[in-house]
């Protein structure tokens, strides 16, 4: 892990408890924990998979398939439970995720159309609702090629598989139906599974192993793509639904402060449109060596967008969270989400972080405004960057743009 140089006297004072270095996690604690985990590994791993399966993208259409498990027996479900991660200490979260060992096999992406027995076992693992025992022997010691990625939750070391034993999986009725119904389109199956209580993480795993979709068209989907596909497809469903509802009638502001982040949610009267913006301060994940704040925003109007947003997968994870919320309220709105990322938050943890924090954001009580100018004045005392920078960059908050949205309701004084 590349982090800034930290003065040793700070570490002596802090001892991993006060974060005096300004980071959102303790690299020394994590390093010691991971070293201990790796020192207990050799050319085999026995543990209960949460369950966990990772599909790589390099070499596409031949990709690495990684059935995965920590060297832990018992209930390991928390290793894959996004609902639990949001309240977990960041050091514990990273330790758990980086202790998931990955044994790799190479398959062509069209394997799910006619899977062999071994791949069917991997599919069953990906669909299991309970941990599954795995015993992996590998061709060489596990490499420390951990995954730290914007889209994917951290994962631990890997090695090519020599042999693998996968125990019995426990698959519930809704997943079983989607798997065996070979006339069920993948998009429809994702919505069906979501309505039956499956999380984005569970759905993306099933999609990634090609366990849903129409018969001979079933394909594996690399994990990072599968997560975004699930976020997009489910949020598309909600957006189509909320367009049938009446608009909200006041401006609503939602705020959520977390360790190293500020999430801002602005809902305004009008037809559905959406914006996701990020401002990365220096010494953050994607602005490690910059000298000023780096900002990026993407948006869509009522008719949606036809291109993939430059800002990446967080666009769709945040879009899912706000469209879920509006669907519960049976309302539509101009939906603007901004995120400020502060110095020290420089370890990528995956798009779940945005999705679940935006969900929590909309559980808070909003501040209500009648006037857009009052909203911006209020925000100016909360954001760390000049709120006018957000207004200039935004495609939806600008006063003249709002005037076109609301037929002159807001005037630029």
pLDDT range class, residue 38, cuts 50, 70, 90: low
Q: Is residue 311 part of a domain?
A: yes
Q: Are residues 22 and 114 in the same domain?
A: no
Among 242, 266, 291, give the residue marking a domain's end: 242
pLDDT range class, residue 22, cuts 50, 70, 90: low
Reading the block at residue 54, the tokens are 């990772």
Q: Are residues 126 and 53 in the same domain?
A: yes
Task: Print the SS3 string covering 56-80.
Answer: CCCCCCEEEEEEEECCCCCCCHHHH
pLDDT range class, residue 346, cuts 50, 70, 90: confident
CATH at 160? 2.40.50
> What is the rounded CA–CA span in Å between residue 74 and residue 389?
50
Q: Are residues 157 and 299 in the same domain?
A: no
Q: Is residue 80 part of a domain?
A: yes
Q: How confident is the model over 349-369, as pLDDT tens digits?
A: 889 999 999 999 999 999 999
Cβ proximity of 155 and 147 under 8 Å:
yes
Q: Residue 100: name the closest of 150, 50, 140 by CA.
A: 50
Q: Are residues 279 and 381 in the same domain?
A: yes
> What is the rounded CA–CA span in Å between residue 145 and residue 239?
39
Cβ proximity of 205 and 245 under 8 Å:
no
Which stretch of DSSP H or E encloses residue 397? Answer: none
Q: Are residues 257 and 278 in the same domain?
A: yes
pLDDT range class, residue 13, cuts 50, 70, 90: low
Q: Is residue 262 part of a domain?
A: yes
pLDDT range class, residue 12, cuts 50, 70, 90: very low
Q: Is residue 340 part of a domain?
A: yes
Residue range 390-404: average pLDDT? 70
Residue range 333-337: average pLDDT? 98
Q: Are residues 263 and 198 in the same domain?
A: no
Q: Are residues 273 and 383 in the same domain?
A: yes
pLDDT at 152: 86
Q: How confident is the model over 155-169, as pLDDT tens digits?
A: 888 999 999 999 999
pLDDT at 287: 82
pLDDT at 360: 97
> What is the rounded CA–CA span in Å between residue 241 and residue 108?
37
Q: Are residues 162 and 188 in the same domain?
A: no
Q: Residue 82: name the closest of 213, 166, 205 by CA.
A: 205
Q: How confident is the model over 197-212, as pLDDT tens digits?
A: 999 999 999 999 999 9
pLDDT at 405: 45
Q: How confident is the model over 61-118, as pLDDT tens digits?
A: 999 999 999 999 999 999 999 889 998 888 788 889 988 999 999 999 999 999 999 9
Residue range 379-408: average pLDDT? 75
Among 191, 208, 242, give the residue marking a domain's end: 242
pLDDT at 64: 96
Strand pairing category for 52-55 and 62-69: antiparallel
Beta strands in 40-193 (DSSP E): 44-49, 52-55, 62-69, 101-108, 132-138, 158-166
Per-residue pLDDT for 18 more than 50? Answer: yes
pLDDT range class, residue 23, cuts 50, 70, 90: low
Per-residue pLDDT for 406 more than 60? Answer: no
Q: Are residues 290 and 373 in the same domain?
A: yes
Q: Residue 56: name the closest of 166, 138, 149 by CA.
A: 149
Q: How confident is the model over 274-313, as pLDDT tens digits?
A: 999 999 998 887 887 788 899 999 999 999 999 999 898 9
Cα-based torsion angle of the residue sequence 169, 172, 174, 176 in order, rounded to the nearest 10 degrees: 40
End-to-end CA distance of the chain: 50
Residue-range definition of the domain harbouring residue 351: 251-406
Helix residue ranges per DSSP H, 265-329: 314-329
Q: Is residue 412 part of a domain?
A: no
Residue range 21-34: average pLDDT? 60
Task: Return the higher-pLDDT residue of 11 and 251.
Answer: 251
Portion of the chain with pLDDT greater than 90, in percent: 71
Among 242, 261, 287, give the residue marking a domain's end: 242
Neighbour-count burial of 291, counting CB atoms closer than 10 A to its CB (0-12 exposed, 13-18 middle, 19+ buried): exposed
Residue range 397-407: average pLDDT? 49
Q: Are residues 258 and 383 in the same domain?
A: yes
Portion of the chain with pLDDT greater than 70, in percent: 86
Q: Residue 319: name the closest of 261, 263, 358, 366 by CA.
A: 358
Q: Is residue 129 part of a domain?
A: yes
Sign of the Cα torsion 85, 86, 88, 91 reads positive
- In 10 A of CB 82, how many CB atoms? 16
pLDDT range class, residue 27, cuts 50, 70, 90: low
Per-residue pLDDT for 412 more than 80? Answer: no
Residue range 314-338: average pLDDT? 98
Task: Return the higher-pLDDT residue of 251 and 288.
Answer: 251
Cβ proximity of 253 and 266 under 8 Å:
yes
Mean pLDDT, the chain, as a whole number? Answer: 88
User: What domain count does the chain have?
Assistant: 4
> What is the rounded CA–CA span in Å between residue 110 and residue 112?
6
Question: pTM of the full predicted structure?
Answer: 0.88
């Amino acid at each position: 892990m590349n982090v800034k140089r930290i003065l040793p006297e700070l570490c002596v004072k802090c001892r991993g408890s006060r974060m005096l270095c300004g980071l959102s996690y303790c690299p020394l604690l994590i390093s010691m924990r991971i070293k201990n985990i790796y020192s207990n590994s050799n050319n085999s791993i026995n543990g209960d998979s949460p369950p966990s399966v990772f599909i790589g993208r390099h070499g596409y259409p031949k990709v690495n398939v990684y059935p995965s498990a920590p060297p832990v027996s018992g209930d390991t479900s928390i290793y894959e439970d996004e609902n639990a991660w949001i309240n977990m200490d960041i050091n514990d979260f990273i330790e758990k995720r980086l202790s998931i060992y990955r044994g790799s096999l190479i398959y062509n992406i069209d394997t799910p159309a006619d899977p062999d027995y071994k791949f069917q076992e991997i599919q069953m693992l990906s669909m299991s609702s309970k941990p599954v025992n795995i015993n992996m022997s590998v061709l060489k010691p596990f490499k420390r090629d951990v995954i730290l990625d914007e889209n994917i939750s951290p994962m631990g070391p890997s090695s090519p598989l020599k042999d693998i034993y996968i125990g019995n999986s426990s698959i519930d009725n809704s997943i079983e139906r989607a798997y065996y119904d070979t006339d069920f389109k993948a998009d429809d199956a994702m919505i069906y599974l979501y309505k039956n209580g499956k999380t984005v993480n569970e759905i993306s795993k099933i999609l990634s192993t090609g366990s849903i979709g129409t018969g001979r068209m079933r394909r594996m989907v690399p994990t990072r793509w599968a997560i975004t596909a699930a976020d997009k497809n489910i949020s598309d469903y909600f957006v189509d639904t909320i367009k049938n509802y009446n608009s909200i009638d006041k401006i609503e502001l939602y705020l959520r402060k977390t360790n190293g982040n500020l999430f801002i949610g602005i809902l305004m009267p009008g037809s559905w449109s959406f914006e996701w913006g990020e401002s990365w301060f220096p010494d953050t994940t994607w602005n490690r060596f910059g000298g000023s704040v780096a900002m990026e925003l993407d948006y869509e109007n009522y008719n949606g967008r036809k291109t993939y947003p430059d800002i990446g997968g967080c666009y769709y994870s945040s879009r899912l969270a706000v469209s879920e919320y509006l669907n519960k309220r049976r309302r539509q709105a101009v939906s603007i989400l901004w995120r400020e990322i502060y110095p020290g938050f420089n370890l990528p943890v995956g798009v779940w972080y945005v999705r679940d924090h935006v969900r929590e954001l909309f559980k808070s009580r909003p501040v209500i405004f009648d006037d857009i100018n009052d909203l911006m004045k209020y925000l100016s005392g909360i954001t760390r960057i000049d709120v006018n920078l957000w207004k200039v960059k935004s495609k939806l908050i600008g006063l003249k743009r709002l005037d076109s949205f609301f037929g002159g309701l807001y005037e630029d004084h």
